[in-house]
Structure 1
Amino acid sequence: MSENYQEENINITENEELRLPPPPGRSPATRASSLGERSTSNAEQEPEMRSVTIQREHRLQRVDANGRLIAHTKSHPSPTRIVQLKPSSSSPSVAPVNTTINNTTGSARARSWDVDHATLPTRPDDFPLLPTTRIVHGMNAGVISNCISDCLRIRSVKMTLCKSQGNLARCLNTDFCRFNVRLYSTNDGAVLVEVHRLTGDAVSFMRDCRAVFNAAEGKSLQQQSKDEDVPMYLRFPVSQMNFLGSLSLPPPLTTSQDEYAESIKCTSELLSSHMTDSNMLGMESLVIQTDPLKTDKSSAMNVSRRILSPSDEENDGFNLHNHLMSILLCNEDSHVMNAEGHQAGEEASLSQAYHVTKLRNLAMLALSNALELFSSENLLTSTISSDLEWYTSNLIPTLIHDLNMAVSNPHYACYASRCLSTLAKSSVELAHRMKDSGGLDAVKIAEEVGTREFAMLAHDARTCRESLCVGDGME
């Protein structure tokens, strides 16, 4: 049912974008008649879509003599073929952000959203006014659009400007909630700001929606972060809170072996299901089970060990490592949503592209959690030592490829930089192999893109660059 509703919502949105204000001299009755004739003609030519089916793509996968998945070589083209953005020859440190930065590289999306107030269209009156709208008086549309652009950059929301409609910006936040921001002119010369949710979590949408409205009204942007909306008990472990100095707490609850086995069994069944919705639920569960802030530490350690080590004894029934890495390594470019929100290189449904992109993003987050947890316990080097060559020849090139794709998908680049940073800190050999594979150039590209467009990426890429340069004293 949810897929049907989302598809209808997308179709309505696309139809809405085609509606233009009536030209001067045409009466509403004439326009209604023409719209009725056009809709009747379209209905006769094309049947109305009421459902969508997402079918899992079956592909042949290469394995080595030990049954390990081998990455597809065609999914790792050279950096010069993927991104034409040239890193600056000066220091790659993050510069102060200027909301009027222009796109001078040709490949990076321009982060400045310049809307001409004089040509701003009025809102069509044949579609009900959304509740998520706000009218701003006394401000130019160009100023409002630049403030919104800067707000979205600070909140790490991917913004894509519509080429055919200058008043429209398509957005995708870190929770993979898709929404549109439109600017319209009112009769009294004010600017109407409309934020329209398409898919995704409503709570996450409302946080970004309120931030957009505050920015449109000219309120101060003080390095807004989504962490500000997260309760403190989800940001820090209880053991790091100051009140422990004066209180004595009971011993923490631990998950019994039976409870752990049941939870991981349920996750494995969801991941191995032939239903795509079940796969998504299983991956979301895996992300939670690798986060010690959302589950007990012993369970997080057990699940993370299964992700990092393919030969772990608990992987006999369902190998979490092979399943997760198959999603990460099989990164065909046709499955990556491009700047316009559609699949690149082939005509496929937007729903399938959205599903595959979100599933891989969650898989990268689970891997990042597992690497960080074992690194904090000084167990990462010993855990991956027997598979170090596989990590070097398969996983690291994939992560560097994701960094080079920062322009089209900053979400991948964020988690890729975190994984590379953790691996570089754990092994000097891995850090050197990363640099030999073009890791520094890829990190600089990602950092420049993050500085322009995606604050979270700028921070993660800078941390990764520092990790790679510590050994050579290049900081």
Structure 2
Amino acid sequence: MPVLTSRRLPKIQRGQDYFLGSAKQPFSASLPPLKQSFGAAASCRLPHSPGRHSNDDKFGLKHEWDDVSTESLWEVKGEDLEMVPWGFPLERTHREIRMDVGEVASRISERLRLMSVEANYCSKQAKAKCKTTDAVSFRIRLFAGGEDGQPVVVELQRRSGSAYTFMRTCRAVLDAAEGKDSNEKFSSPSNGLPPALKLPVSSMSCLSHVATANVGLESDAKEALRGALNLFRSDQRDTSLLGLENLCCLSDLVKTSADVATFACKSLIAPGDVREELRVLIEHDVFSAEENDSEGLLKFREHQRFLCLRVFANAISVCLKDGSLNNLVSDSWFAEIFVPLLLDELNRAESGLHNAFQAATCLHGLLSSSPTTFHQLLVDNGANTALEKAFKIGQSRHGLLARETRRCLDVLDASS
């Protein structure tokens, strides 16, 4: 019977092939360069292709890019484009365009501005981080399909949020990249948001002959509001965000009936605990970043702030239409606490376009309801400077922000 013996093997360094004795090279480095359009290769999905990772990332870790710049235009040069790696699993939401890459990037940035999509561009890496007005996050990246830089490949990837809104935005962006006019409307009747419903629920033809009973309507509205607030006050992040989203729907005339929305909006901005709980979440000092805060926690806080501002914007707009806002804003809370918070958001418009838009919507409602009450207060607190600054930023990057700040400036000029 043979005798089994053990031998000590030499220590293998991480990233080193024991049999070859040298560090492994990334798989893509051994492949020949792509010399033609990648159309056929795009459908090839290799299970361990490193195409989506940089050559320095040998273990498949995914990193966001560095040096993201906030620019008014996306200025991409042909030499900045990377070739599509062999076996790169492109998303179905991509197109090949035979056009100068600078023109393609300019068309995309202009369409994003018209659609009021918040975008941060990295020209060197030909990437853009985008977020719609209803918090759908997606990425845009440009590639070269051949060694001569043609065709230019435009790829969009959804990261989070509504698939309906993403596809709606994606089609408009890809059409713009090709130089086509989009049939999509760049704004919607619901506070700049792109809802799935194009008309209010009460205006749907299938419900036009349904008799609505006013008996018990207030109790139903109270129950719906109570349920949303219970979710909002939960310690679980997802549950709390769901509660805020329900409050947004209850205060939206497109997504609920006018009577329910009016009752909910009056309850939300009337003096009480609910108004204070929402106000606390839009204060930036409350969310001062700490070194040990995770990226997920920071995104959660930012999304909370956005939803709270949207609830306030919905509530003020509905109460303005109802005619009850003038009585509600007589409370000193609006002048002493709420208006300074709105001006702070406008001063931060460069880094928070959607929040600044919601703040401008709130200011316009307050000014329209009681110009004599808020005019001098806003002038004394530097509202003209903040609005003009936000207007210039909106002109180059966010159409709805430019429109709303322009309306505020017009009201201020008319009441002076």
TM-score, structure 2 normalization: 0.77
Aligned partner of 2:199 in structure 1 is 234
Summarize the Cα distance change of 1:194–1:467 in structure 2 as closer, same or farther, 3 Å threshold: same
Residue 383 of structure 1 deviates from its aligned partner by 2.2
Go from structure 1 to structure 2 and tell me whether the alpha carbon gap of 1:284 and 1:331 turns closer, same or farther (over 3 Å shift): farther
* Counterpart position of 1:279: 240
Partner of 2:368: 425
Give the AA of the match of 1:39.
Answer: K
* Contact preservation (8 Å) 1:183, 1:191: yes
Indicate the SS of the match to 2:401.
Answer: helix
What does 1:173-322 correspond to in 2, within 5 Å? 173-187=132-146, 189-220=150-181, 224-227=185-188, 233-234=198-199, 238=203, 249=209, 251-254=211-214, 256-311=217-272, 319-322=273-276
Relative to structure 1, the CA distance from residue 258 to residue 422 in structure 2 (aligned partners, 3 Å threshold; closer, same or farther) is closer
Larger Rg: 2
Name the SS for the 2:377 alignment partner: helix
User: What is the Cα deviation at residue 175 of structure 1?
Assistant: 1.6
The DSSP-based 3-state class of the residue aligned with 1:411 is helix
1:402 alignment partner AA: E
- Out of 307, 321, 324, the position equivalent to 1:376 is 321
Number of the residue aligned with 1:412: 355
Query: In the alignment, what sits opposite 1:362?
Result: 307
Alpha-carbon deviations, 1:113-136, whole Å to 9, x = none? Answer: 121124421022354222111111
Q: Find the residue that maps to 2:143 and give its secondary structure.
A: strand
Partner of 2:402: 458
Per-residue CA deviations over 1:292-333 (Å, capped at 9, x if unaligned) read: 33222222222212222125xxxxxxx321211121235556
Q: Does 1:167 align with 2:126?
A: yes
The amino acid across from 2:365 in the alignment is T
User: Contact 2:233–2:240 at 8 Å: present in 1 too?
Assistant: yes
1:362-420 Cα distance to aligned partner (Å, 9 max, x none): 111111111122222222122232x22x2211110110010011111011110101111
- Choose the corresponding residue for 2:58, options 34, 39, 54: 39
Encode CA deviations 1:256-303: one digit per residue, 9 max, x unaligned.
Answer: 344223212211210111101111110011111112332222222222
Q: Residue type matched to 1:417 in 2?
A: A
Distance 1:372 1:37 in 2: 52
Higher relative contact order (CA 8 A, sep 6+): 1
Q: Which residue of 144, 158, 167 corresponds with 2:118?
A: 158
Q: What is the alpha-carbon distance in structure 1 between the residues aligned to residue 391 and residue 184 of structure 2?
A: 17
Q: Distance in 2 between matches of 1:115 and 1:306?
A: 49
Instruction: Report the equivalent of 1:93.
Output: none
Q: For the residues of structure 2 that align with 1:222 and 1:263, how far apart are their CA atoms?
A: 36
Q: Distance in 1 between matches of 2:198 and 2:166?
A: 22
- Given that 1:290 and 1:301 are in contact with CA atoms closer than 8 Å, whether structure 2 keeps it comes out as yes
Q: Check 1:294–1:129 CA distance in 2 against 1; reply closer, same or farther (3 A cut).
A: closer
Tell me the secondary structure at the aligned position of residue 39 of structure 1.
coil
* Deviation per residue, 1:183-215 (Å, 9 max, x gap): 111127211111111122111111111111101
In structure 2, give the amino acid aligned to 1:423.
Answer: L
Give the Cα separation in 2 of the matches to 1:253 and 1:330: 44
Counterpart position of 1:100: none
Note if 1:436 corresponds to 2:380.
yes
Name the residue aligned to 1:84: none
Distance in 1 separating the partners of 2:236 and 2:199: 31
Among candidates 398, 402, 422, match of residue 345 of structure 2: 402
Secondary structure in structure 2 of the residue aligned to 1:171: strand
Q: CA separation in 2, counterparts of 1:117 and 1:132? A: 22
Give the deviation of 1:176 after TM superposition.
Answer: 1.1
Cα separation, 2, equivalents of 1:334 and 1:23: 48
1:216 and 1:334 map into 2 onto residues whose CA distance is: 39
**1:21–1:121 Cα contact (<8 Å) kept:** no
Is the contact between residue 197 and residue 255 of structure 2 (CA under 8 Å) also seen in structure 1?
Answer: no
Over residues 11-55 of structure 1, what are the superposed CA-to-partner deviations in whole Å (9 max), with x where a residue is unaligned? xxxxxxxx997499899xxx98xx999635x99xxxx99xxxxxx
Paired letter, 1:323: E
**% same residue:** 27
Gaps of 5+ in 2: 1-25, 35-48, 64-68
How does the TM-score come out when normalised to structure 1? 0.68
Structure 2 counterpart SS, 1:161: strand
Could you tell me which runs of 5 or more consecutive residues in structure 1 were left unpaired when the two chains were aligned.
1-18, 50-107, 312-318, 336-344
Q: 1:331 to 1:154 in 2, by over 3 A?
A: farther
- Per-residue CA deviations over 1:405-454 (Å, capped at 9, x if unaligned) read 11110111101011111111222121210111011111101110000100
